[in-house]
Amino acid sequence: MLSRSPENWSDKEGWEDYWRKTLADDEWLIKKRLLQDTEYFDSIDYFKSEGIRNVLFLGCGISQAPKFFVFGGLQATGLDVSETAINFAINYAFEYEKFYRWFNSQKFKVNKQVWIEFCSVSRKASYECGSILDPNVAQGAFDLVVATKMLQGFCKDQFKIREILECIDQRLTSNGKLLIFTINAPSAREMIDDQLTRMGYGNIKQLSDSNGKLGKSFLHLLASA
């Protein structure tokens, strides 16, 4: 039986239980998550061209994306409330065969030397266990905050969403950007848009997901006012 995310997304123990079960029983989901992470690599040059140098991934779970960004020349931190997920993310190592299969393309050529370099450089990625609501974690100023499906889990409570967005805002540089992804949740997207507009955010752009299906998934690039 596949594990389900907790009803209350603030439930730290619930997330610990979710990730313990997932990592023990759901190899397919793990592979899917890691494959999704590889898609970030094609975006790194774009982010760099926008002046982004320091990135925070919220609710990162087992994500390897911070490692890809570090390998691409940026600073990156992953933040999640689950210690189980964070420990997996830190310690996960791509085998050469899998790394080659997932990354070898016209844009990114992989060989043994590239793989060895990635294994070395990616260790500089930072991971923290904690909540964005805690002022003692993820301290510093970030040019980009990525919240992949994380925010929609709190959209039953507009006050909680506002609280989280304000905590994110406190960690952004003056011209920082938010990248928010919500799936099958137009009402969540509208609530997030409304709260950000009230907070003075401008230049809110709706971008398509990787398949271009705007009706299904929503990807935002939200620039700070």
Distance between CA atoms of 210 and 212, rounded to whole angstroms?
6
Contact 59, 79 (CB under 8 A): yes
Report the pLDDT value the prediction gives residue 81, as an integer from 0 to 100. 96
Most distant CA atoms of the chain, gap in Å = 50
Structure tokens at 166: 């304000």
What integer pLDDT is reported at residue 171 of this predicted model? 93
Could you give the angle at the alpha carbon of 45 between the alpha carbons of 39 and 51, nearest 5°? 125
Band of residue 218 on the pLDDT scale cut at 50, 70, 90: very low
* CB-CB contact of 193 with 180 (8 Å): no
- Classify residue 1 as exposed, middle or buried by CB count within 10 Å of its CB (0-12, 13-18, 19+): exposed
Give me the chain's average pLDDT, please.
85
Decide if pLDDT at 220 tops 70. Answer: no
Question: What pLDDT shows up at residue 217?
Answer: 36
What percent of the chain shows pLDDT beyond 90?
46
Q: For residue 225, what pLDDT is reported? A: 43
Flag the least confident range among 2-6, 62-66, 110-114, 158-162. 2-6
Give the C-alpha separation, 82 to 189, whole Å: 25
Q: Which residue has the tokens 């975006």?
A: 43
Is the pLDDT reported for residue 60 higher than 90?
yes
Q: Write down all domains in the chain, each with its CATH number in brackets.
A: 30-223 (3.40.50.150)
**CA angle 52–191–58, rounded 5-degree value:** 40
What is the tens place of the pLDDT at every residue in 62-105?
999 999 999 999 999 999 999 999 999 999 999 999 888 888 76
Q: Which two tokens stand for residue 51?
A: 């002046």
Structure tokens at 185: 């949740």
pLDDT of residue 65: 93
- Pairing mode, if any, of strands 202-207 and 217-223? antiparallel
Burial of 220 (0-12, 13-18, 19+ CB in 10 A): buried
